[in-house]
Amino acid sequence: MVSLEQKPRKHHPLEVYIQRLEQGDALLKDTPDHVLEVVGILKSYGVVLDAYSRNLIYIAEHQFLNPFPFFKYFNGEVSLKRLLQHWGHDRINYEYAEYCMKSMFWHGGGGLDEYLDTPEFARAAEKAIQGKWKGNLFMLTLHKLFPDFLPEQVRVMAYYSGLGQFWRVMSDLFIALSDRYDNGEIQTIPQVVDHILQGLVAAANKPITYQVQLRGKTYDILPKSAGLTFLMDTAVPYVEAIFFRGAPFMGTISYNAQAYQIPDEQGAFTYGALFADPLPIGGSGIPPTLLMQDMRHYLPDYLHQFYQNTIRGEDDLRVQICQTFQKSMFCVTTAALKGLAPYPFTTDNPEEKAANRQFLKPWMDRFIESRLETANQ
């Protein structure tokens, strides 16, 4: 009798995946190819994230409110050689990191977003603005005339720093995963998920803070007292903004207001990494191409070899990278869900199981539209 009640009356369309989670598996099917792909791509992603996060933090700390940041991608090392490389576009596409940052900034959510609207932040920002533009009549007049202009820029800087700190952790996590795989410690997808989960748990309460030095003085934009932490104030909003919502790609979605292709509520956006179509990657108006392009340079040999054996080989590398990347992101999502769930998914306690199902339902509803099924094919 009890067992009958427990069974949901109507099966969720993604019931298979729910059961998979309850068996201790991940959203992504556990196959040797998947392990190879996911670990390989996370390795190159780790390398790219390392560069992104260093640059984001550099910009936040050293290009604060600079109206003409010509050398913002140089991390302070301007030389002729680097300049020529930069002009030859032989470099990491930091534009993508900024794109993610802006997307996260625009969608908001989490403690960081809330803190930026508090009077404490406004005071700190005002101090920093005055500190930066002391004696610059033009900028200070502009600040008077357009009082929200510079504070908004400071908010952007806070997000530069916040995302940079988040990616710092993730990068190390992914590189460590790859090292463990190379040592033979990681052999299944659940192990991958577990590695990520442990990393997230370990960093969960890491404080997110942001100070900037201007003319020798330190300005505390995001003080420790604000109580911002890694998991709830950067990781969760990041997953929401980048994995789920995202922004419509101009190359596939019409922005025409009269066509009503874009929902009027940001919460209804489904353009994120778990939803995006990998096929148009490489085409026009598809920003994630930049990320795939960056990752192609750091693919481990075994993964590159794996791609070479497909029908188009090197020609559709970026699409294949994106497909693999999507798979890996479902592993990361699994880890995040495990971390956020009220009880371990493998629990045998019916009450805990029911509570877990309660927790999973809204997430699973959102996955219906996602690329979950294709990623598992």
Partner 1 sequence: MTDFVIQTSWLAPLYGLIGALLTLPWSIGIIRRTGPRPAAYFNLLMTLLAFIHGSLAFQKIWGKDPQHLVWHWLQAADLDLTLTLDISPLSLGALEVVAGISLLAQLYALGYMEKDWAMARFFGLMGFFEAALGGIAISDSLILSYGLLEILTLSTYLLVGFWYAQPLVVTAARDAFLTKRVGDIILLMGVVGLSSYGAGLDFSSLETWAESTPIPPLTAALLGLALIAGPTGKCAQFPLNLWLDEAMEGPNPAGILRNSIVVAAGAYVLIKLEPVFTLSPISADALILIGSITAIGSSLMAIAQIDIKRTLSHSTSAYLGLVFVAVGLGQVDIALLLLFAHTTAKALLFMSIGSIILNTSNQNITEMGGLWSKMPVTSTSFVIGSAGLISLLPLGFFWTLQRWLNGTWNVPLWLLGLLLFVNLFSALNLTRVFRLVFLGSPQPKTRRVPEANWPIIVPMASLAIITLLAPSVPIEWSFWLSPNAPLSNYDAFPVQWGMPLLMAASLIGCIIGLSRKPQRMWVRPTQKYWRFLQDLLAYDFYIERLYQVTVVAAVSLSSKMTAWFDRYVVDGLVNLIGLVTIFSGNTLKYNASGKSQFYLLTILMGLAVIFWLLLRGQWSLILDYWSFLAN
Partner 2 sequence: MLSALILIPVLGAILLNLLPKDWAASRFRQIALVLSSMILLWTIVLAVQFDPNNVQMQFSEFLPWLPTLGLDYALGLDGLSLPLLFLNSFLTGVAIFSSNRDIQRPRFYYGLIFLLNAGVAGAFLAQNLLLFFLFYEVEIVPLYFLIAIWGGGRRGYAAMKFLIYTAISGFLVLASFLGLVWFSEATTFDYEPLRQQALPVELQFILLGMLLVGLFIKIPIFPFHTWLPDAHVEASTPVSILLAGVLLKLGTYGLLRFGVGLYLDAWVTFAPWLAFLAAVSALYGALSAIAQKDMKKVVAYSSIAHMAYVLLAAAAATPLSLIAAMLQMISHGLISALLFLLVGVVYKKTGTRDVMVLRGLLNPERGLPIIGSLTILGVMASSGIPGMVGFVAEFMVFRGSLPIYPLPTLLCMVGTGLTAVYFLLMVNRVFFGRLTEQLSNLPRVQWGDRIPALVLTLFIIIFGLQPGWLVRWSETQTTALIVEPSLRDTLEVPASVSQLPLDP
Contact residues for partner 2, defined by CB under 8 A: 252, 277, 279-283, 311-313, 315-319
Burial of 68 (0-12, 13-18, 19+ CB in 10 A): exposed
Taking the least distance from each CB to partner 2, the nearer of 219 and 249 is: 249
Taking CB under 8 A as the criterion, the residue among 146, 218, 344, 350 binding partner 1 is 146
Shortest Å distance, C-beta 373 to partner 2? 13
Query: Positive or negative CA dihedral for 173, 37, 49, 231?
Result: negative
Helices (H), 63-148: 80-87, 94-107, 110-115, 119-132, 137-145
For 103, residues 6+ apart whose C-beta sits below 8 A from its C-beta are 241, 242, 245, 246, 247
> Cβ(371)–Cβ(28) under 8 Å?
no
Identify how many contiguous H helices and E strands the chain contains and give both numbers. Answer: 17, 2
The Cα–Cα gap between 337 and 303 comes to 27
Q: Which residue in the set 110, 190, 287, 300 belongs to the binding site for partner 1 (CB under 8 A)?
A: 287
Decide: is 47 part of the binding site for partner 1 (CB under 8 A).
Answer: no
The partner in contact with residue 105, picked from partner 2, partner 1, none with C-beta cut-offs of 5 to 8 angstroms by kind, is partner 1
Q: Which does 162 bind (CB under 5 to 8 A by kind): partner 2, partner 1, none?
A: none
> Is 294 or 316 the residue whose CB approaches partner 2 more closely?
316
Given partner 1, partner 2, none, residue 311, with its beta carbon under 5 to 8 Å by kind, binds partner 2
Nearer to partner 2, 227 or 251 (CB): 251
- Measuring CA to CA, which residue among 265, 301, 80 is closest to residue 182? 301
Contacts to partner 1 from residues 15-34, by CB under 8 A: none
DSSP state of 236: H
Pick the binder of partner 1 from 21, 156, 186, 228 (CB under 8 A): 156
Interacting residue ranges for partner 1, rule: CB under 8 A: 67-69, 87-91, 93, 95-96, 99, 102, 105-106, 108, 113, 142, 145-149, 152-153, 155-156, 247-248, 250-259, 261-262, 264-266, 280, 282-287, 289-290, 293, 297
